[in-house]
Structure 1
Amino acid sequence: MVEDESPRSSPRPPPSVEEQSVAKANEAIAIRPKRGRLTLLSRRIYNALLYHSQRQGVDEPVYRLALSELIGDARFNSNNTELLKSHLRDMQATTIEWSTSSSSLKRWVSSQLLGTVTIEEQGRGRPCMVTWRYPEEIKERLVKPHQYTRVLLEMSSQMRSYSAAVLYEIGARYLTSPGRLSMREDVMWWAAVLTGRSDIKEVDYRFLKRDVISKAIAEIDALCEEFGLELIEHKRGRKIEEIQFRVVPKVQQRLEDINAANRNVFDLELVGRLIALGIKQDEAQDLYATTDEGQIRATLDHVDARLRSATMPALKSPAAYFKDALKKGYAGVGIAVPASPPDEPGAAPATSVPTLSEGDRLRRIRELWENDQMAKARAMYAEMLEPMQAEWRTRFQVEQLEKVASPIARAWRRDGPASRIAGTTFFKWLAGTTWPAEPTDRVLLDFALQRGVPGL
């Protein structure tokens, strides 16, 4: 292609699903809405819009895409256009603050998250199109950011709660930073960022930690193969006032019983619980698609407890009560009533960072040891002649390919060991096959001493 040809005349070939990624401006990751509310699905839609905007280029005044393609890339499992419009309105109604500074200039911008959006239904046989704009003040920073984090749409779509989706992007941002420590902010700030809500006035940290943070960390630990997160609490006296997260890299592991085909489907049991309350099936599915799964589950548990209560009057309409509870956040941040007063005499103070047990220390060392083994396997493979390399690749395909998650299998078939996602799995397998003996505790401790592993 001639260098001065426009992208329109020769568009870039679309990447495979597992390669779709958005260069997300660091300032746009931890969004604290000042007005309005963001949901898990609206975040997915926003990432998909941003992905296509970046492919079309910063110079485009208006971005345009087939609605079916947007729905697919946002992993929006519904053809309900009205539902999609509702989320687009939410993003238009959400205002964010954007601050930048340099040695000579400090700049503060308050802006909509998304500008004008148009959906054009062109008649039978012609695709429905969506067009959108960004506010001019932040468009270039969003579409062509100078400092950004690469976010995989496929990985982001696996998250089933808004808080996990946010923490995944924060973890991806700080994974390569020297200290691997996230921003340190007060509890109220984190409550807004991790729930996407602008109406939070008061936060009970214990419920924020239990219902939002801990569940999000567990979700990331189960689904993210690159890193995990540790919560760090900063106290003033007995009160936890600020928190941050430490990003902990981990060996990319094969998910034994989870694959990309079934990680992102409806939880039919949860939808069934909604229907059992008297909510129509279509409405239950729409609620599930548009609302944080953890919030639905917590509200259902709240309604179940209310129905079982022998001291309160019977509910005339459990479905109506559920919708009201969901809307008003009865089971949400700062709403629940603690079982005991926060400063009850004799209560044990919370520790800011738990002390690692002997088992946890050995687990950490083992992860480092496995990384070292994998690096040795990679170096050994690089020194092999091509016939021997081909023999190992064939053996891996025969023995392992059907067992790995489908995105890894697709990446392997396309790029082999050169793939970042499949290469890690291959070299881990190669290390385990070449040196199958399980390390003893003594071997792991000797390894830690030889490598000078800090804090272990």
Structure 2
Amino acid sequence: MAEEDAPPSAPRQSPSADEQSVAKANEAIAIRPKRGRLTLLSRRIYNALLYHSQRQGVDEPVYKLALSELIGDARFNSNNTELLKAHLRDMQATTIEWSTSGPALKRWVSSQLLGTVTIEEQGRGRACMVTWRYPEEIKERLVRPHQYTRVLLEISGQMRSYSAAVLYEIGARYLTSPGRLSMREDVVWWAAVLTGRSDIKEVDYRFLKRDVISKALAEIDALCEDFSIELIEHKRGRKIEEIQFRVVPKMQQRLGEISGAERNIFDLALVGRLIALGIKQEEAQDLYATTDEAQLRATLDHVDQRLRSPTMPELKSPAAYFKDALKKGYAAVKSLAPAEARPAVSPSTPAANQPVMQQQLSPSDRMLRIRELWENDRMAQARAMFAEMQIPAQGELRSQFETQRLEQLAAPIARAWRRDGPASRVAASTFYKWVAQTTWPEEPSDRVLLDFALQRGVAGI
């Protein structure tokens, strides 16, 4: 396991790319909340808070930071403080358990994930500040852990689903362990850990695997350069009762050993499914290069189900239907059980008695989703603009990116950029995001985002 006896190093003023990481206590990686829920954004924010707490030191009674810096490090990219507050409340309402066992002592602690948080708006022209505390019982174990895993904020911030973010941290933890095997736990335990929900009592494993695990594994494989993760299933009779994961290091190959085409392996089967719908090969490859793989798979599965449905009218253009479904996010919120198998739920039915599912998005999460779609649209525009540039102009833009951003990137992303440039699946999103922000630096207001959602037909996600 990625454990070290020495505490994290003392705070530095100017962290390099390799230091853009948080020393995360191993107990805080696979968190199974006992009360409340965790989201992708709350996990990003929590990692960013830990990063700055560790730089300020364990002896500080309270931690303080400019809100803009927290937002940047959490890859939040929004000035909507109400949305930020909603996720901070989630962390404060989430109860976790910490257990310690020794020769003469066993200690159990039930605690909040985060203590008091204050946001101070100091008036025009002055930075908005955020201060926070941790519960005293677990503060030192969080801020100066003895056994911990280094989590790169840049890589973690690229994950698009909560389950992928959790599995990335689990992969980082067990990458250096002798067997490279994660903990072995029952299916309900993993469902709670991979969804961040505390109300899960029963799970249909087929749908957990299809809608959560498989998509997260594909996301890890696409975005993480250092390792991939394999699922291991343990049966009792015919039923899968427990699962665990194996971390598989990716081959580290020297620059120039293989061609660019071999370095950037496309999932040809996925591209082939797009072409089979009637999408031209060039357009299918563009869609693959600019769209999250998990979202592509989910939308293709949705279209396949629609085509096979005996009760629905025949689709005249599966390709057009697919593009509309992808744009409007038809597959963004899916249950982990088929609708016909789901029991009727009355307003009085407790959520804990429902099958595990991805619930309807809250207003704050819906705005976050719209923001992500808006950013994806800008990135797609930036990619198209870059493709239309003359080669000298492309070279100049790449040089600007390297001058302004390369030293700030996490080491795996910087290596991928130096090796493959914009063709890299690991570094491309960082580059095109920078191009978009450089070309269109203005921040969108909530009104702009809502107008975008209405124009694209995504307001009801």
- CA 1:337/1:144 → structure 2, altered by over 3 Å: closer, same or farther? farther
Which residue identity is paired with 2:193?
Answer: V
1:125 maps to 2:132: no
2:335 aligns with 332
Q: Are 1:410 and 2:406 an aligned pair?
A: yes
Q: TM-score, normalized by length of structure 2?
A: 0.58
1:392-424 C-alpha deviation (Å, 9 max, x unpaired): xxxxxxx9x969x979x925x999xxx777679
Contact 1:252 1:424 in 2 (8 A): no
Partner-residue secondary structure (3-state), 1:228: strand
Q: CA deviation at 1:333?
A: 3.3
Counterparts in 2 of 1:290-439, with a 5 A limit?
331-334=334-337, 336=339, 410=406
How has the CA–CA distance of structure 1 residues 71 and 247 changed in structure 2, closer, same or farther, with 3 Å as cutoff?
same
Instruction: For 2:211, give the aligned amino acid.
Output: D
Query: How far, CA to CA, are the matches of 2:187 and 2:175 in structure 1?
Result: 22
- Aligned pairs for 1:25-44 within 5 A: 25-44=25-44
The structure whose RCO (Cα within 8 Å, separation 6+) is larger is 2
Query: 1:86: which partner in 2?
Result: 86
TM-score of the two chains, using structure 1 as the length reference: 0.58
Aligned: 1:169 with 2:169:
yes
Which of structures 1 and 2 has the bigger CA Rg? 1
Q: Report the CA distance shift for 1:235/1:47 in structure 2 as closer, same or farther (over 3 A).
A: same
Checking the alignment, whether the CA contact within 8 Å between 2:226 and 2:412 is kept in structure 1 is no
Measure how far apart 1:200 and its partner are: 1.3
Q: Distance in 2 between the 1:228 and 1:220 partners?
A: 6
After superposition, residues 122-201 of structure 1 pair within 5 angstroms as: 122-201=122-201
Q: How many angstroms does 1:334 deviate by?
A: 4.7
Counterpart residue identity of residue 197, structure 2:
R
Q: Hey, what's the Cα distance between the residues in 1 that align with 2:260 and 2:196? A: 32
Provide the C-alpha distance between the structure 2 equivalents of 1:99 and 1:71, rounded to a whole number of angstroms.
32
Q: Does 1:223 align with 2:229?
A: no
Report the equivalent of 1:269: none
Matching residue's letter, 1:332: S
Distance of 1:143 and 1:11 partners within structure 2: 12
Map of 2:250 onto structure 1: 250
Change (3 A) 1:424 1:223: closer
Alpha-carbon distance in structure 2 between the residues aligned to 1:180 and 1:337: 40
Q: Which secondary structure state, in structure 2, belongs to the residue aligned with residue 114 of structure 1?
A: coil
Separation in 2 of the partners of 1:406 and 1:242?
46
Relative to structure 1, is the Cα distance of residues 130 and 423 closer, same or farther in structure 2, using a 3 angstrom cutoff?
A: closer
- Residue type of the alignment partner of 1:157: G
Contact 1:18–1:154 (8 Å) recurs in 2: no
Report deviation, 1:19. Answer: 3.4
Q: Distance in 1 between matches of 2:338 and 2:87?
A: 25
Q: Is the 8 A contact 1:191 1:203 kept in 2?
A: yes
CA contact under 8 A between 2:11 and 2:57: conserved in structure 1?
no
How big is the alpha-carbon RMSD for the aligned residues of Structure 1 and Structure 2?
Answer: 4.0
**CA 406–195 in structure 1, closer or farther in 2 if over 3 Å, else same:** farther
Decide whether the 8 Å contact of 2:67 with 2:130 is kept in 1.
Answer: yes
Q: AA paired with 2:45?
A: I
Counterpart-to-counterpart distance in 1, 2:13 and 2:214: 40
Give the match for residue 264 of structure 2: none
* Unaligned runs of at least 5 residues, structure 2: 1-9, 262-293, 313-327, 343-394, 421-461
| Contact 1:182 1:246 survives alignment (8 Å) | yes
Q: Which residue of 2 aligns with 1:450?
A: none
Once the 2 structures are TM-superposed, how far is the Cα of residue 108 of structure 1 from its aligned partner? 0.8
Count of aligned pairs: 301
What displacement does 1:104 show? Answer: 1.1
Name the SS of the counterpart of 2:91 in structure 1.
Answer: helix
3-state DSSP of counterpart to 2:172: helix
Shift in CA distance, 19/136, structure 1 to aligned 2, threshold 3 Å: same
Cα gap change, 1:335 to 1:188, in 2 (>3 Å): farther
Shift, 1:67, TM fit: 0.2
Structure-2 residue corresponding to 1:50 = 50
1:410 is aligned with what amino acid? L
**Contact 1:202–1:334 (CA<8 Å) still a contact in 2?**
no
8 Å contact kept, 1:233–1:242: yes
1:109 counterpart residue number? 109
Q: Is residue 221–residue 229 contact of structure 1 (8 Å, CA) maintained in 2?
A: yes
Cα displacement (A) at 1:77: 1.6
1:423-443: per-residue Cα shift (whole Å, max 9, x none)? Answer: 799899xxxxxxxxxxxxxxx
The residue aligned with 2:23 is 23
Corresponding letter in the other structure for 1:24: K
Amino acid paired to 2:132 = W
> Which amino acid counterpart does residue 333 of structure 1 have in structure 2?
L
Tell me the CA shift for residue 169 of structure 1: 0.2
Q: CA deviation at 1:18?
A: 5.7
1:205/1:115 CA distance change after superposition, 3 Å: same
